[in-house]
Amino acid sequence: MLPLSAAQRAELLPTLAGWAPCPPRDAVRKVFEFEDFGAAWSFMSRVALAAERMNHHPEWANVWNRVEVVLTTHDAGGLSMLDIELARCIDRHAAQAGARHH
């Protein structure tokens, strides 16, 4: 897997609503807020299954109704197309779960 080129970054990163750089790493981060712990956990379970199918796994943390997600591709040494695809997948699951992002 190759890291995103400068042209790919310029084109693709602005399409990821709410995802922000996570310096000093070459990664993106987004925080989701759900109605309660059960909704947050259900979201994480659905994302975990999708991530496993993609063989690309997020870094994340959960505190009650909040889930912080960081995406990077370790094998590529930074952001790759896998991160873009997984971010889009995560956003779809979050929208279905009624999440708000910060």
pLDDT score at 101: 82
Average pLDDT over residues 94-100: 95
Residues 28/21, Cβ–Cβ less than 8 Å: yes
Q: What is the pLDDT of residues 20-66, one digit of tens each?
A: 999 999 999 999 999 999 999 999 999 999 999 999 999 999 999 99
Q: How far is CA 33 from the centre of its chain?
A: 14
| E runs forming strands in 1-102 | 20-21, 28-33, 59-63, 66-71, 100-101
Q: Report pLDDT digits (tens) over 61-93.
A: 999 999 999 999 999 999 999 999 999 999 999
Q: Identify whether the C-beta of residue 69 lies closer than 8 Å to the C-beta of residue 58.
A: yes
Question: The pTM is what?
Answer: 0.95
Q: Following DSSP, what letter does each residue of 16-29 receive, concatenated?
A: STT-EE-TTSS-EE
* Contacts of residue 42, Cβ cutoff 8 Å, sequence gap at least 6: 97
Instruction: Kindly state the tokens that stand for 58.
Output: 């997020």
6-26 pLDDT, tens per residue? 999 999 999 999 999 999 999
